[in-house]
Amino acid sequence: MKLLVIGGGGREHAIVDKLRRDAPRAQIFAAPGNPGIEAVARCVPIGAEDVESIARFADDEAIDLTVVGPETPLAAGVVDLFALHGLPIFGPASTAARLESSKAFAKALMRDIGVPTAAFETFTDPKAALSYLAGMEPPVVVKASGLAAGKGVLICRSREEARRAVEELLVAGRFGEAGRRIVIEAFLEGPEISVFFITDGERAVPLVSARDHKRLEEGDRGPNTGGMGAFAPVPEVGPDLVETVRTGIAEPVVAELAARGSPYSGFLYVGLVLTEDGPKVLEFNCRLGDPEAQAVLPITEASLVEPMLAVAVGDGVSGWQPEAARGAALVTVLASDGYPASYPTGLPIGVPDGLESDDLRVYHAGTAMLDGKLVTAGGRVLGVTGVGRTAEEAAARSRRGAELIEFEGKRWRRDIGG
């Protein structure tokens, strides 16, 4: 069997690692991959956004299954292109991927079908946005509608902060085209969770729940990032809650997309806030979360190759049900100094020999090889995942590994899961 993973970050490293466990004899490729992935798969120098070259490669190599890691190629239509060529691929087509690529679209869809979410309005005109803000009580949330690498959500604790956020997005163009339309919504109070599903366009089968920590600093302070760490499973997420999310959110959304002529298949990430009034949707992602995938996949016992392939060829997931998670996992992200703003690259990374084991994985997110040496090449550099029988054991392993890895300016949180 030949498998291809599109992407080159920590999530894609975790996906490749999982596929290697599920299909040890498979030939696995990654486009473009990274130095960590290269140890377990063949990396090909094709950017994740170069969807036409990826499709040609998959056709030439007779790839049996392609798995899309990041959101950008989904929005660019990689699934649509593969379908034109009859190539099996796991992920939603571009019209269905609007659930993530357009927050305005997702919010309107939820309002149309009664899925619980925060009160909101969308804007392209800064004056209209500021007028709407005048009637809101802080805190409020200002979001870029388009894709902004996980950094387009601004939580504003005062009207002045919210005013600045609107001006940064709609006037100064902080997120470029992604921020030309914004969503302003009420702030939801309560703990956040992520519930992941595999869906075939009709049914949604849940995977392990997770919680990530997006704030840069300990105590959930500082600016939002793409994620500073995550853990799985979430103790307060029991079967009843997952079933509520499946039947009240995931499957109704999938059904509505199908009714609109945009059938959805692939991973579906439902980001929720557990409010006093019940779970409400914070956002949808059309792929596995990052860094959540680095905690969810190491403890997912069931093979994902079979259901993903079944969905990719149109057979569906009827009758498939994954086993319970294997213990707990926690990932600590090691970030560059200055992240999520500007940061240096090209700094040598020291990873002790023999550090990794079945219970400690190091996933590469922003690394490169320079003159034969591993160096930093991104804001989030590595994810250090500990696996244990308990959350405490997993956390201790993750933090011990994080301590031992060295690069100049290394930043990380010691309270993930706390």
Cα distance between residue 204 and residue 307, in whole Å: 12
pLDDT value at position 336? 98
Cα distance between residue 288 and residue 297, in whole Å: 10
Picking from 161, 167, 155, 152, the residue whose alpha carbon sits closest to that of residue 192 is: 155
pLDDT value at position 172? 87
209: left (phi over 0), alpha (psi -120 to 50) or beta: beta
Summarize pLDDT for 401-412 with one digit per residue, the tens: 999 999 999 999
Summarize pLDDT for 247-304 with one digit per residue, the tens: 999 999 999 999 999 999 999 999 999 999 999 999 999 999 999 999 999 999 999 9
Whole-prediction pTM value?
Answer: 0.94
Per-residue confidence at 326, pLDDT binned at 50, 70, 90? confident
Q: If DSSP states are collapsed to H, E and C, what string results for the chain? A: CEEEEEECCHHHHHHHHHHHHHCCCCEEEEEECCCCHHHCCEECCCCCCCHHHHHHHHHHCCCCEEEECCHHHHHCCHHHHHHHCCCCEECCCCCCCHHHHCHHHHHHHHHHHCCCECCEEEECCHHHHHHHHCCCCCCEEEEECCCCCCCCEEEECCHHHHHHHHHHHHHCCCCHHHHCCEEEEECCCCCEEEEEEEECCCCEEECCCEEECCEEECCCEEEECCCCEEEECCCCCCHHHHHHHHHHHHHHHHHHHHHCCCCCCEEEEEEEEEECCEEEEEEEECCCCCCCHHHHHHHCCCCCHHHHHHHHCCCCCCCCCCCCCCCEEEEEEEECCCCCCCCCCCCECECCCCCCECCEEEEECCEEEECCEEEECCCEEEEEEEEECCHHHHHHHHHHHHHHCECCCCECCCCCCC
Tokens 């009160």 label which residue? 119
Summarize pLDDT for 200-220 with one digit per residue, the tens: 999 999 999 999 999 999 999
Choose between 364 and 152: higher pLDDT: 364
pLDDT value at position 272? 97
Q: What is the mean pLDDT of residues 14-29?
A: 97
Residue 158, pLDDT above cutoff 90: yes
Residue 351, pLDDT above cutoff 90: yes
Both tokens of 412, joined, read: 């990380």
Residue 306, pLDDT above cutoff 80: yes
Per-residue confidence at 199, pLDDT binned at 50, 70, 90? very high
Contact between 286 and 266 under an 8 Å Cβ cutoff? The reply is yes
pLDDT value at position 319? 84
Summarize pLDDT for 125-135 with one digit per residue, the tens: 999 999 999 89
What is the percent of the chain with per-residue pLDDT over 90, rounded to a whole number? 91
pLDDT value at position 174? 86
pLDDT value at position 321? 87
Residue 74, pLDDT above cutoff 80: yes
pLDDT value at position 360? 98
Per-residue confidence at 318, pLDDT binned at 50, 70, 90? confident
pLDDT value at position 12? 98
Per-residue confidence at 141, pLDDT binned at 50, 70, 90? very high
Per-residue confidence at 151, pLDDT binned at 50, 70, 90? confident
Summarize pLDDT for 381-407 with one digit per residue, the tens: 999 999 999 999 999 999 999 999 999
Tokens 């054991």 label which residue? 393
Q: Which domains does the chain have, with CATH numbers?
A: 2-90 (3.40.50.20), 119-186 (3.30.1490.20), 192-312 (3.30.470.20), 328-404 (3.90.600.10)
Per-chain mean pLDDT for the chain: 95
Q: What is the mean pLDDT of residues 54-68?
A: 98
The backbone torsions φ and ψ at residue 67, rounded to the nearest 5 degrees and listed phi first, read: -115, 125
Residue 100, pLDDT above cutoff 80: yes
Per-residue confidence at 76, pLDDT binned at 50, 70, 90? very high
Cα distance between residue 403 and residue 384, in whole Å: 10
Q: What is the mean pLDDT of residues 335-343?
A: 96
Q: What is the mean pLDDT of residues 149-177?
A: 89
Cβ contacts of 131 within 8 Å, gap of 6 or more: none
